[in-house]
A and B are shown apart, each in its own frame.
Chain A
Amino acid sequence: MTVIEAIDLTKRFGGPSAPPVLDAINLSIQAGEVFGYLGPNGAGKTTTIRVLLGLLNPTRGTVRVFGEVPGERDAARARLGVLLENSGLDDRMTAFQSLDYHARLYGVSNRTRRIERLLGFVGLADQRDLKVGTFSTGMKRKLGLARAIVHDPELLFLDEPSAGLDPEAQRMVRELLQELARTRNITVFINSHHLDEVQRLCSRIAILHRGRIRACDSVDALRRGAGGDRIEVRFSDAGQAARGAQALRALGRLPEVTVEGDRLATSVDGMTAPEIVATLVGEGLGIEEVVRPVKSLEDVYFEIMREEEAA
């Protein structure tokens, strides 16, 4: 089931001559996905979330969340949970009061039991009667997360969930999110520029730059796809590597085969990796090691950013 669908989503602030903050965004997010939305500051991540939440109207294009125009029906928002950059908590309320207030607004039944369980879930059971104003940034973030899920939403929007947190708190929030995704099977939309966080949490990601989606795929596909899927073979000596290259070139199916010392490298384009290895083995060459180099998400991200800046 498609939970979020955006077609040609464009948003401008100001007149038609103003540059678009979001430019022809197309998104389709399925139920149960943990979707990462990556991009540098000012790329349009928060604006996208605001449009999906119905806080901003698109200038052009259509947006549907659970098949409805976001913000059109107040009751439809009960299916959504939100943790924006600001945790949305009133400093003058206690942790319990804060969750209770939001639970009431969402019409949650058995509030006290649910809130106590949630406070335990985020590790704030002992702080239930402390004012939010006395909390550290990490504690506020965790309480904000509890607030976002107090009504058991089907779709959770998280805007920079670990912003301003120290590494330990970041890990705690990440573990909480992993637990949520695993145990509750909710759809999660995460805005972030923390590549590690996105890589660990998300099943699929989109990379946004200056209001446009530059890449959108699963993390693995993006990592393999960036710069082409490659294979590297190490032989027992340089002579064997040269013979292997000659054999592969003779087939005429691979665009480029390079040799550097005892290593042969080629892109897996025209032949599959097992076919390449089988050819080399068939030539009677002494293969020491076969490596499929995969780029990190960070490499992919910065490669895309560099390409965009150059363009």
Chain B
Amino acid sequence: MSALDHVRTIASKELREIVTNRGLLFSGFFFAGWFAIMTGLGISGEDISRANELDNSLFYMAALIGLFVAYIYSGQTYLREKQTGVVETLLCAPVSLRSLWIGKAVGVAAPAWFMSLLAAGAIMGIAGWRAGETLLPGITVTVHLLIVVPTFIIAAVALMGFSQLMLGMRENMIVNMLTIMVLFGALATTRYVVQKAQLVTWTAVLGLLGASLGLLLITSLLGRFLSRERIVRTIS
């Protein structure tokens, strides 16, 4: 079996576990829906044009919602298997550590991206309903939603997965609390960010894409520090 087959097998298992878990699905829909509704209702077009504000909101919120949902799902994928000890058995399989890690990242990132797209659709729908017209995103935001956001989510999930596999349970609790604080802090600043007239530019979109690819590269390099021994010794 090739490494790609392993990644596909692991990713599809994780994906199936997420989409068949009502609790996980509900929390994904709840957070994506809640933030999308709040954002959609907040698009007033008072300070900048409605279309501009929608683009800003989609640019900022799609990535953030995707990241938030991915954070919830990654805990169930990496950390839960480590807590229950299931990962130790997987480490004995003829699968490379990298395939295991990436497979899980893909399995988590795919539904998280789907949730962010749903949220983006909801934001557009609500903003359009309030404006009494159909509001569609500009080309930069469309590229952002279809290319940059999934890259950003998968880079973030890979980093979260790395830290969850690498660190002990106590360290992971601290990292989780910090992640939650950063995420809520970012969500709390939404209003200030989306009111800026020139937020969504090609520079910003390509800059975030570059940053995401850079994060992927850094995470990939960090992967060299990940070993079976490290994971096993931080299980309990």
Contacts and interface: CB of A to CB of B under 8 A. Distances in A.
Interface of A: 13, 50, 53-57, 71, 74-78, 80, 82, 84-93, 97, 101-102, 104-107, 147
A285 B96 CA distance: 73
Main secondary structure of the interface of A (DSSP, over half): loop
Given A55-B232, A56-B232, A105-B6, A88 B96 contact: no
Interface stretch (B36-44, B80-88, B113-121, B122-130): B80-88
Interface residues on B, range: 20 to 34
Contact of B90 (A71, A88, A92): A88
Given A13-B233, A55-B232, A105-B6, A89 B86 contact: yes
B95 interface: yes
Contacts of A56: 228-229, 232-233
A107 B93 CA distance: 11
B233 A92 contact: no
29 contacts: A13-B233, A55-B92, A55-B228, A55-B229, A56-B232, A57-B229, A71-B228, A74-B96, A76-B94, A78-B94, A82-B92, A84-B85, A84-B89, A86-B86, A86-B89, A87-B89, A88-B89, A90-B17, A90-B84, A90-B86, A91-B84, A92-B17, A92-B20, A97-B16, A101-B13, A105-B1, A105-B6, A106-B1, A107-B5
Main secondary structure of the interface of B (DSSP, over half): helix
Interface in B214-236: 228-229, 232-233
Interface of B: 1, 5-6, 9-10, 13, 16-17, 20-21, 81, 84-86, 88-96, 228-229, 232-233
A105 B95 contact: yes
A86 B96 contact: no
B186 to A, nearest CB: 31
A220 to B, nearest CB: 32
B92 A101 contact: no
Nearest to A78: B94
Given A86-B89, A101-B9, 12 more contacts: A55-B229, A76-B94, A78-B94, A86-B85, A86-B88, A87-B89, A90-B81, A91-B84, A92-B21, A104-B1, A106-B1, A147-B89
